[in-house]
Amino acid sequence: MAGSAESADVASSRAALRIEGTTAEIALDGGALNLVNTALLRSLNSALTDIAAAADVRCVILHGGSGRAFCAGSDINELAKLHEDASERKILFEDMVLRRLARMPMPTIAAIDGPAIGGGFELALACDLRVCRRGVRIALSESRIGGLAANGAVRLTRLIGPARTKELLYTGDPITAEQALAWGAINRMADDGTALEVSRALAAAIAARGPLSNRLGKTLVDAAQDGALDAALSESTIAQQRIFDSADLHEGVAAFLAKRPPAFRGR
Nearest to 139 by CA among 225, 50, 69, 217: 69
With CA atoms as reference, report the closest residue to 156 among 190, 199, 193, 119: 119
- Counted residue by residue, the chain has a size of 267
Angstrom distances, CA of residue 127 to CA of 20, 112, 240: 19, 12, 24
Q: How far apart (Å, rounded) are the C-alpha atoms in residues 50 and 46?
A: 6
What's the per-residue H, E or C state across 216-235?
Answer: HHHHHHHHHHHCCHHHHHHH
- Please give the Cα distance from 243 to 267 (Å, whole number): 9
Tell me if residue 19 falls in helix, strand or coil: strand
Q: Is 142 a catalytic residue?
A: yes
Cβ count within 10 A of residue 142: 25
In the Cβ-directed half-sphere of 46, how many Cα atoms lie within 13 Å? 12
- Give 130's strand partners: 110
Element (H, E) at 62: strand 59-63
**DSSP state string for 94-122:** HHHHHHHHHT-SS-EEEEESS-EETHHHH
Which residue of the set 142, 167, 235, 251 is catalytic? Answer: 142
Start-to-end C-alpha separation, the chain: 39
- Which positions are catalytic? 142
